[in-house]
Structure 1
Amino acid sequence: MPDFEALIRHQQLKQPTTNQRLKVVNKPDFEEEKNEEPTIKQSGLLVNFFGGFIGSVIGTLTILFLYVNEYLPIDLLKLK
């Protein structure tokens, strides 16, 4: 079985040089990206915030409802 370090050394020597591996690309045109409108507007952020808040309130109320009606037994004293 060949030596692990010898295999690594062989792979490193066999690699192409950085000039052969890396490719130089032209500078992208940023003017085209500036013309695009942002996907999330200020009103969208507010809708996401209040939607998440209302969802967490509904989830909490659902868990409390299930706990009060004894469909979901939560024994906090047993967790100690």
Structure 2
Amino acid sequence: MLIYKGKPLGQVNTEGWHHSLRRTGIANVRWRGLRHTWASWLVQQGTKLYDLQEMGGWKTAVMVGRYANPARANMARHSRD
């Protein structure tokens, strides 16, 4: 859990996010990138796109497609099945 100004970080705002990154020595991380990674990993593990859309709060399947990128190895495996 991230702590900011002595309290648990319940919502990430710009100041708290950047402070936490500096404190941990993490560079070049953006929420959008984390969201892409999260969505892609779930799709690669077999999560249905509709379920991912619900979990991620996307309004359209097109938006899910922009975030969730299947791994080439998974695509090849599914094409053989």
TM range (shorter): under 0.3
With normalisation by structure 2, the TM-score equals 0.24
Higher relative contact order (CA 8 A, sep 6+): 2
Larger Rg: 1
Give the structure with the higher percent strand.
2
With normalisation by structure 1, the TM-score equals 0.24
